[in-house]
Amino acid sequence: MLSVSNTDYFDLELTVNGTPVRRRIPTHLRLLDFLREELGLTGTKEVCGEGECGACTVLLDGLTVDACLIFAVETHGMEITTIEGLSRNGNLTPLQQAFIDHHSVQCGFCIPGMILSGEQMLRDHEQLTREEIRQDLSGNICRCTGYQKIVDAIESVSRDRR
Ligand code: FES
Ligand code: FES
- The Cα 106–Cα 91 span in angstroms is 22
- What distance in angstroms lies between residue 22's CA and the mean position of ligand 1's atoms? 25
DSSP string, 48-105: SSSSSS-TTEEEETTEEEEGGGSBGGGGTT-EEE-GGGS-BTTBPPHHHHHHHHTT--
User: What number does CATH give the domain 94-160?
Assistant: 1.10.150.120
* Residue 128 dihedral angles phi and psi, to the nearest 5°: -135, 130
For the four alpha carbons of 146, 149, 151 and 154, in that order, the dihedral sign comes to negative
Domain residues of the chain, as ranges? 6-85, 94-160
Segment 89-138, tens digit of pLDDT: 889 999 999 999 999 999 999 999 999 999 999 999 989 999 999 999 99
User: What number does CATH give the domain 6-85?
Assistant: 3.10.20.30
- What distance in angstroms lies between residue 161's CA and the mean position of ligand 2's atoms? 27
The overall pTM is greater than 0.85: yes
Fold match flag (6-85 vs 94-160): no
Segment 14-35, tens digit of pLDDT: 999 999 999 999 999 999 999 9
- The Cα 10–Cα 130 span in angstroms is 44
